[in-house]
């Protein structure tokens, strides 16, 4: 059975409209109440209830330099990255993901642009995003690229069934609160997933 996919330009009005009614990979860590997420679980819920997301300078920087990063990543690992639209989980049609690209034979491509140093490790926030992307797109690995104008670091991240089995119930629980328009109870941020994913650095430079 093919993975449901909508071929839309990321950031377009059509893409934004198609994402409505979906729990998106980028908010997975916050929805799960994970420590280190960009926002709290309550703040994430309010966003799904219609509260506008504040655009940060980091988000603007990332948007402005994503194609520069893609080009540098292609050179670094000698493979072409093709932009993607919107993947929807084949079994759970309330879950969606828009990775930054596909390397086709190598896996998905997720890019994080910074104006300082590349990340030294993959954060819980980004790992949750990657694992939801892999589940939605049906890939078994993702190339995660942390890029700066001067240096970059690139990992190969495998899909983890153990991580997914831990994360999915938390996302499903959160989404029920969204459906019911009922604010979830306040919880202490959960620790990172009790699963060790053997990510591998494949490029530094």
Please report whether residue 122 resides in a domain.
Answer: yes
| CATH (domain of 168) | 3.90.320.10
User: What's the pLDDT at 4?
Assistant: 84
pLDDT greater than 90 at residue 2: no
On the CB side of 75, CA atoms within 13 Å amount to 9
Please report whether residue 87 resides in a domain.
Answer: yes
Print the domain residue range for 42.
5-190
Buried-exposed string 135-149: b where 16+ CB fall within 10 A, e elsewhere:
bbbbbebbbbbbbbe
Q: Helix, strand or coil for residue 147?
A: strand
Whole-angstrom distance, CA of residue 189 vs CA of residue 187: 6
Please report whether residue 204 resides in a domain.
Answer: no
- Number of independent structural domains in the chain: 1
pLDDT greater than 60 at residue 1: no
Kindly report the pTM of this predicted structure: 0.93
Please report whether residue 202 resides in a domain.
Answer: no
Alpha carbon distances (Å) from 130 to 116, 150, 170 = 22, 24, 16
Give 133-184 pLDDT, tens digit per residue: 999 999 999 999 999 999 999 999 999 999 999 999 999 999 999 999 999 9
Whole-angstrom distance, CA of residue 98 vs CA of residue 19: 9
């Amino acid at each position: 059975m093919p993975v449901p996919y909508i071929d839309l330009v990321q950031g377009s009005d059509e893409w934004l409209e198609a994402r409505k009614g979906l729990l998106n990979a980028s908010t997975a860590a916050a929805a799960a109440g994970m420590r280190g997420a960009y926002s709290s679980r309550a703040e994430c819920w309010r966003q799904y209830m219609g509260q506008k997301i504040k655009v940060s300078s980091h988000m603007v920087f990332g948007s402005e330099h994503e194609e520069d990063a893609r080009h540098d990543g292609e050179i670094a690992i000698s493979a072409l990255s093709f932009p993607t639209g919107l993947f929807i989980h084949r079994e759970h049609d309330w879950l969606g993901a828009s990775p930054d690209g596909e390397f086709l034979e190598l896996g998905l491509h997720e890019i994080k642009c910074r104006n300082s140093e590349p990340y030294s490790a993959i954060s819980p926030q980004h790992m949750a995003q990657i694992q939801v992307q892999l589940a939605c797109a049906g890939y078994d690995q993702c190339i995660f690229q942390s890029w700066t104008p001067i240096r970059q670091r690139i990992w190969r991240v495998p899909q983890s069934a153990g991580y997914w089995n831990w994360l999915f119930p938390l996302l499903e629980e959160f989404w029920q609160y969204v459906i019911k328009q009922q604010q979830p109870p306040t919880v202490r941020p959960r620790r990172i997933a009790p699963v060790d994913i053997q990510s591998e650095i494949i490029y530094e430079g």
